[in-house]
């Protein structure tokens, strides 16, 4: 029995486009002799559809397009495709998260998701009723255990030590094993996290080895706003070895002979996981490309300051969108160093990116003069610094409005965490590229992006970071060195460790208190940031929900 895993990039709600993608993949798999073609979770509509699931016309479209798919494919072939299913019962949630088995021109069996995640970015119990009945797919003399994403994740590692490793009281695979399957198939929409790639693979290899069964995993690929899906679909033999796998961050498919898989040995590089920084770069490039492509945007802009963040953002955007689709602004003030402008010009010219230089000092002086009666003789402080950032934001948004160039935000996670940024200034944008990347990793990204060809001038990487909003300003005037800051932030945000444990790890009590206070006090700023491309297990945005007015 030959099974094809089709790793596709869906567009949420684009039923015509998704159906065309799926039918094409089925036809191509059929040419290679596939008997069964497997797609990912909620593939008919794209994952995650969020509150679109509350609209009847959306669900009707999902159902009708599954039926259209059943009629369009070769009736001799089997297809497993994900989609929402109306709950026929009179109680419970209105929908199931289901997988439809299509064969003979119609919908045959339907398999429903049992474990509905409600942590981090997931909120599936908001929409779906959990499955409580288990059955096997019998096809071509094989008994197949069909599972949906989290159904194999009853055990999983969390960075937060307070979380349970076992979240659920039900183990779907244990229930299915009693029905004596020959193989396990998992249809998934599992988002990317740069520190969970090995753990994710171990879920499937561990299940295969524990039960002595081959496991076939088909994951969604591509970006859906801030969520990035790496793909990485794989076939695992009963010994727990990855025999074949699909690439990360691009569409592809693979054919697996189920009988051969039972005794197959791993192919060269099967299951190879890229280095962490390489994976982050691939994820961010995918995120930019899909955000623009799926929304119909073509061109972008950003403020190229001569600093590391804007340089890395530009390099990623040039790879994702092409240099011809970028128009950047250099916005020096009287506090900007000459080399900041020179470095920026060098980088723009090297990439072939259009740029313009608009000095902001005349506008800043006009602001000062206008505000003089109000400010009187008060000393300059953050107010004047923020005026400069907002002038830059206004100029960038003017370019965006006039020519349709979407503004890319360049703030990193370290700055965003402690509020080291200006609302309606450098925190403006349509998409935050580095908002989930700590500053220390931004430097590693710069080195990685320069590894094959120098795209970022060396001086940008080696000079001390500075906002250049006052004379001789350095980031360390306001913050501890990023090497120390990022360790505290990761322990507090990702691992959710309290102050006492931060101190036990060796951080100075005063510093730990100060950083925790800054993170908590600046939640209001993060509520107003653009969507942040998620590369960690705890990004700012939909996966981290905190009250603004909490005293805690």
How far is the CA of 475 from the CAs of 296, 327, 439, 472, in angstroms? Answer: 37, 27, 11, 10
Cis peptide before 382 (omega within 30 of 0): no
Give buried/exposed letters for 361-393 (b at 16+ CB in 10 A, else e): eebbeebeeeeeeeeeeeeeeeebbbbbbbbbb
Residue 113 a catalytic site member: yes
How far is the CA of 305 from the CAs of 335, 354, 443, in angstroms? Answer: 12, 15, 16
Contact yes or no for 332/325 (Cβ under 8 A): no
Residue 540 DSSP class: S
Cα-flanking dihedrals φ and ψ of residue 264, to 5°? -75, 150
Compute the distance between CA of residue 399 and CA of residue 288 in angstroms, rounded to an integer.
Answer: 19
Selected catalytic residue, list 149, 218, 494, 525: 149
Picking from 48, 45, 107, the residue whose alpha carbon sits closest to that of residue 72 is 107
Tell me if residue 217 falls in helix, strand or coil: strand
Compute the distance between CA of residue 243 and CA of residue 187 in angstroms, rounded to an integer.
Answer: 18
Residue 41 a catalytic site member: yes
- According to DSSP, the β-strands at 2-7 and 36-38 are parallel
Compute the distance between CA of residue 463 and CA of residue 343 in angstroms, rounded to an integer.
Answer: 11
Residue whose tokens read 């299940």: 207
Structure tokens at 527: 């509520």
Compute the distance between CA of residue 486 and CA of residue 438 in angstroms, rounded to an integer.
Answer: 6
Residue 318 CA from chain centroid, whole number? 19
Compute the distance between CA of residue 360 and CA of residue 388 in angstroms, rounded to an integer.
Answer: 7
Selected catalytic residue, list 45, 113, 319, 439: 113
How far is the CA of 330 from the CAs of 298, 327, 470, 510, in angstroms? Answer: 21, 10, 17, 38
198: CB partners within 8 A, 6+ apart = 273
Compute the distance between CA of residue 273 and CA of residue 296 in angstroms, rounded to an integer.
Answer: 32
Compute the distance between CA of residue 153 and CA of residue 273 in angstroms, rounded to an integer.
Answer: 20
Q: Which are the catalytic amino acids?
A: 41, 113, 149
């Amino acid at each position: 029995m030959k099974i094809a895993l089709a790793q596709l990039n869906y567009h949420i709600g684009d039923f015509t486009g998704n159906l065309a993608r799926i039918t094409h993949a089925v036809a191509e798999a059929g040419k290679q002799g596939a008997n069964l073609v497997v797609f990912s979770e909620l593939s008919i509509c794209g994952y995650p559809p969020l509150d679109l699931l509350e609209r009847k016309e959306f669900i009707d479209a999902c159902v009708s397009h599954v039926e259209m798919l059943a009629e369009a494919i070769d009736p001799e072939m089997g297809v497993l495709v994900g989609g929402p299913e109306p709950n026929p019962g009179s109680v419970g949630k209105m929908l199931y998260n289901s997988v439809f088995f299509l064969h003979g021109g119609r919908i045959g069996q339907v398999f429903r998701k049992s474990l509905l995640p409600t942590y981090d970015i997931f909120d599936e119990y908001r929409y779906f009723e959990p499955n409580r009945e288990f059955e096997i797919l019998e096809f071509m003399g094989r008994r197949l255990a069909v599972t949906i994403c989290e159904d194999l994740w009853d055990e999983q590692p969390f960075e937060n030590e307070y979380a349970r490793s076992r979240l659920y009281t039900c183990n779907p695979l244990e229930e299915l094993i009693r029905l004596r399957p020959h193989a396990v198939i998992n249809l998934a929409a599992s988002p990317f996290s740069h520190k969970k790639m090995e753990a994710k693979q171990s879920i499937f290899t561990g299940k295969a080895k524990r039960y002595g069964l081959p496991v076939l995993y088909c994951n969604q690929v591509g970006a859906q706003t801030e969520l990035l899906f790496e793909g990485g679909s794989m076939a695992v033999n009963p010994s727990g070895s990855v025999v074949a796998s699909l690439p990360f961050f691009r569409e592809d498919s693979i054919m697996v002979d189920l009988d051969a898989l039972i005794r197959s040995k791993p192919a060269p590089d099967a299951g190879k996981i890229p280095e962490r920084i390489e994976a982050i770069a691939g994820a961010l490039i995918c995120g930019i490309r899909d955000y623009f492509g799926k929304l119909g945007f073509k061109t972008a802009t950003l403020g190229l300051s001569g600093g590391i963040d804007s340089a890395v953002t530009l390099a990623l955007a040039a790879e994702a969108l092409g240099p011809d689709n970028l128009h950047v602004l250099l916005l020096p003030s009287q506090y900007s160093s000459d080399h900041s402008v020179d470095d920026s010009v060098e980088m723009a010219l090297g990439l072939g990116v259009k740029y313009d230089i608009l000095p902001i000092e005349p506008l800043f002086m006009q602001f000062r003069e206008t505000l003089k009666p109000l400010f009187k003789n008060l000393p300059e402080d953050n107010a004047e610094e923020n005026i400069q950032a907002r002038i830059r934001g206004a100029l960038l948004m003017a370019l965006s409005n006039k020519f349709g160039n979407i503004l890319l935000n360049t703030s990193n996670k370290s700055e965003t965490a402690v509020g080291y940024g200006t609302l309606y200034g450098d925190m403006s944008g349509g998409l935050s590229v580095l908002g989930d990347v700590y500053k220390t990793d931004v430097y590693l990204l710069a080195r990685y992006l320069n590894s094959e060809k120098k795209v970022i001038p060396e001086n940008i990487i080696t000079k001390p970071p500075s906002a250049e909003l006052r004379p001789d300003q350095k980031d360390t005037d306001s913050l501890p060195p990023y090497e120390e800051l990022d360790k505290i932030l990761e322990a507090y945000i990702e691992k959710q460790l309290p102050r006492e444990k931060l101190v036990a790890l060796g951080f100075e009590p005063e510093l730990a208190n100060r950083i925790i206070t800054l993170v908590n006090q600046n939640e209001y700023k993060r509520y107003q940031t653009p969507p942040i491309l998620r590369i960690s297990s705890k990004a700012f945005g939909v996966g981290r929900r905190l009250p603004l007015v909490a005293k805690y």
